[in-house]
Amino acid sequence: MNPSQLIAFLNAMTCGDLDSIAGKLGEALEACSELGETDLASKLDEARTALLAGDLKTYRKRVATVVASLGHVRSKHGNPLGSTAGV
């Protein structure tokens, strides 16, 4: 996934059972790792742990932090306008 696809993927995670959302967080975590963004992958792991513990405040904060940071990553990877072409 490129940063724009990852942002869209994370923003689309609004409902579903906990196992499904946790699985999607795992996919996003792997995508961040593949982009070399280990700090963001760590934040997603924290989000998954918080979600499974029922700490929705921390879950939402971690996901929001990653989405915001991915905007900067997207710029770094040559997509400064945020185009989602090819998504």
Q: What is the pLDDT of residues 15-66, one digit of tens each?
A: 777 888 989 999 999 999 999 999 999 999 999 999 999 999 999 999 999 9
User: Which of 20, 22, 46, 42 has its CA nearest to residue 33?
Assistant: 42
> In this structure, is residue 83 part of a structural domain?
no
Can you say whether the dihedral through the CA atoms of 74, 71, 32, 9 is positive or negative?
Answer: negative
pLDDT, tens digit, 9 for 90 and up, residues 72-83: 888 876 654 444
Total tally of structural domains belonging to the chain? 1
CA–chain centroid gap for 1, Å, is 11
For 18, half-sphere exposure in the C-beta direction (CA atoms, 13 angstrom radius) is 11
Domain extent, residue 27, equals 3-76
> In this structure, is residue 29 part of a structural domain?
yes
**What is the pTM assigned to this prediction?**
0.76
